[in-house]
Structure 1
Amino acid sequence: MKNIAVVMGGYSKESSISLESGKMVYDNLCRKCFIPYCVYLFKDKWFMKNKENKKFFIDKHDFSVFVNENSRINFDCIFNAIHGSPGEDGMLQSYFDLLKIPYTGCNFHQANITFNKKYCLSLLKYLGINTAKSFFLNKNQTFCKKEILNSIGIPFFVKPSRSGSSFGITKIYKEDDFDKALSTAFKEDNEIIIESFLSGREVSVGVFSFRNEIVVLPITEIISKNDFFDFESKYSGKSKEITPANFPLNIEVKIKNTAIKVYKYLNLYGISRSEFIIVDEIPYFLEINTVPGLSKESIFPKQLKTAGISLSDFFHDFIDSSIKKCLYNLQ
């Protein structure tokens, strides 16, 4: 029986979503093979809760839990269910690498690149993946508004470079709203993206690696009732999600092949969910999430269900392969 720490919470506005994902993982871990523990990581404290809801604080020197004089819990693997920092930006991965504790998902290099939309878009565009036109700005950087508008066109998006769940994103229809959108984005991050609007069908593609094979899950088409797939659309039922998406076979193949290319180009491991806009039968990459939501309302679990894969079986294989990968890297 392996001790599994299901880490959840985090330091960002996505912590509430992470708690839902973590609970889903905890509830679906096989009790015949694993002893799961709910571990909460917040800026001011790291702690574990037992079944009686009693808190035990984490010893950050080795990520163990002191229960009493005769008992200390060490973990065989960390199931990372933290969206945003520190679970999705590479910080937690670096920490567990130093402690030589296995964890689920990609390593800190890939996490850092994929979490920063500026780095990720620049790399994939260089490697031939289609993306929208974009400008990158840092806080307090001087720039020519007219030059940007003439190149990008209206409407367009202003996005934080390092943020999830669509926090800080504004869709702009007129020049007068530009400054307010910049202010909104800079509240979330000191690096932002100004990106052209693409008119097409939005899809989400779940991908994972298993036994040295890359598996693409059934594609989900997202039809938002709001102006775009914002936080409310994602978590308040303001969108229609169709899984599997209804595309002709040749378009479906294009989308899946592009998702695999993105996964390989970024040298990912574990699970990911990438977003595309399909314009004139061509997939345009938007962003990728290496710790996708796993709550009841999340897309990735629905794609697993459509593919006939149970959460319990998937989590079991995910943990086992993560432990084997860590042991291989330590050799």
Structure 2
Amino acid sequence: MMPKIAILTGGESSEREIALLSSQFITTQAKRFFSVDVFDFPQDLPRFIKDQAQYVLAIPVFHGRGGEDGQIQGFLETLKTPYLFSGIDGHSAGMNKVFSKLIAQSIKINQPGFQIILPGEQIRFSQKSVVKPYDNGSSVGVYIVGSQIELNHALETVFKLSDKALVEEFVAGEEYTVAVVDLKKKPQALPVIWIKPKKNSFFDYKSKYSDNGADEVCPAPIDKKLSDQLQQIAVKIHQTLGLKHLSRSDFIVKDQRPYFLEVNTIPGLTKNSLVPKAVKTADLDFGLLLKDWVETELKKRVR
């Protein structure tokens, strides 16, 4: 009889729709090796609490607040249910863009200049900037602003999504992303992906999740020195934040110099997502990776 796995997904964040799509991919891969039940939170929460003892492990597949910020992980630890992906600390550090940037700063990783803005604070426009919520993913609520009017509008909108805004220096360059997977318990960077949005000026929500929203070239057509540098930074972020199993770091490169933007602790796993493409390019099998991660976590429980 195959071990029983619970896949927890949905949630109430602005990224709920993407989480449900990601869970479909995870479910398909997990069913190759495990008996799987899917729970759509919050409506299936009572059912999961009632039945959770029959599952050897849970796989949380959430994006955004409530599921990718350490809350669901804390809930699972309270139930003493093993789970995949990063723990409370890793998720909360990755989701809080300000905190992850401060950590990156402390280990000398280059990144755009930034400041934190609270509701009611006055900020004068001084240069082209990127405005985003400090704790959202999937590029939800991200604006590139080029004037005081645009800045004011962006902040007004962002404060509807979050209680803090991050205003970053705009760096004009090429976008790249690097996924990191734990392979035989050691983090390994997958091939670099070059991202070129077709219609929008950056890799926004629409570009990420629509068919043909962007050209995504894997491996990226860049020299080995730059590729190695991006991969090394992604692994360093993964290790420093204490992330597990899977992460994805995003970058801008200008004049051959990488700028770290953010890390995703449960990156998108839809049919249009970047991680499955990188896994395939690396000649790896995502289902086997998943199986290895589950078995590794279960072995820890036996000790």
TM surpasses 0.5: yes
Runs of at least 4 residues off by over 3 Å:
none
139, 153, 158: which one pairs with 2:119?
139
Q: How does 1:77-226 map to 2 (within 5 A)?
A: 77-140=57-120, 142-143=121-122, 145-146=123-124, 149-150=125-126, 153=127, 155-225=128-198, 226=200
Q: Which has the larger radius of gyration?
A: 1
1:303 pairs with 2:273: no
One-letter amino acid of the structure 2 residue matched with residue 37 of structure 1: D
**TM superposition score normalised by structure 2:** 0.94
Q: Matched residues in 1 for 2:61 and 2:91: separation?
A: 13
Gaps of 5+ in 1: 48-56, 66-72
Q: Matched residues in 1 for 2:233 and 2:150: separation?
A: 34
Q: Matched residues in 2 for 1:247 and 1:187: separation?
A: 39
One-letter amino acid of the structure 1 residue matched with residue 107 of structure 2: L
1:251 pairs with 2:231: no
1:13 pairs with 2:11: no
CA contact (8 A) 1:202 1:222 kept: yes
Q: Which residue of 2 aligns with 1:68?
A: none
Q: How does 1:289-328 map to 2 (within 5 A)?
A: 289-325=264-300, 327=301
Cα deviation for residue 211 of structure 1 reads 2.5
Cα deviation for residue 175 of structure 1 reads 1.8
Cα deviation for residue 238 of structure 1 reads 1.9
Q: Matched residues in 1 for 2:250 and 2:213: separation?
A: 18
Render the CA deviation track for 1:34-68: whole Å, top value 9, x for unaligned. 111111113xx225xxxxxxxxx5253xx526xxx
Give the total of aligned pairs.
300
Q: Matched residues in 2 for 1:316 and 1:59: separation?
A: 22
Q: How does 1:46-61 map to 2 (within 5 A)?
A: 46=44, 57-60=46-49
Q: Matched residues in 2 for 1:288 and 1:20: separation?
A: 20
CA contact (8 A) 1:106 1:290 kept: yes
Rate the CA distance shift 1:251–1:135 in 2: closer, same or farther, 3 A: same
**TM superposition score normalised by structure 1:** 0.86
Cα deviation for residue 30 of structure 1 reads 4.2
CA contact (8 A) 2:183 2:289 kept: no
Cα deviation for residue 85 of structure 1 reads 2.5
Gaps of 5+ in 2: none
Render the CA deviation track for 1:282-322: whole Å, top value 9, x for unaligned. 21110111111111111001111111112221221122223
Cα deviation for residue 86 of structure 1 reads 2.0
174, 184, 205: which one pairs with 1:231?
205
**Which is worse superposed, 112-121 or 22-31?**
22-31
Rate the CA distance shift 1:59–1:251 in 2: closer, same or farther, 3 A: closer
SS of 1:227's equivalent in the other structure is coil
One-letter amino acid of the structure 2 residue matched with residue 93 of structure 1: Q
CA contact (8 A) 1:113 1:119 kept: yes
Identity of aligned residues (%): 30
Q: Matched residues in 2 for 1:93 and 1:164: separation?
A: 18
CA contact (8 A) 1:6 1:22 kept: yes
Cα deviation for residue 323 of structure 1 reads 2.5
44, 55, 60: which one pairs with 1:75?
55
Q: Matched residues in 1 for 2:161 and 2:172: separation?
A: 26
Cα deviation for residue 324 of structure 1 reads 3.0
Q: Matched residues in 2 for 1:247 and 1:321: separation?
A: 35
CA contact (8 A) 1:105 1:322 kept: no
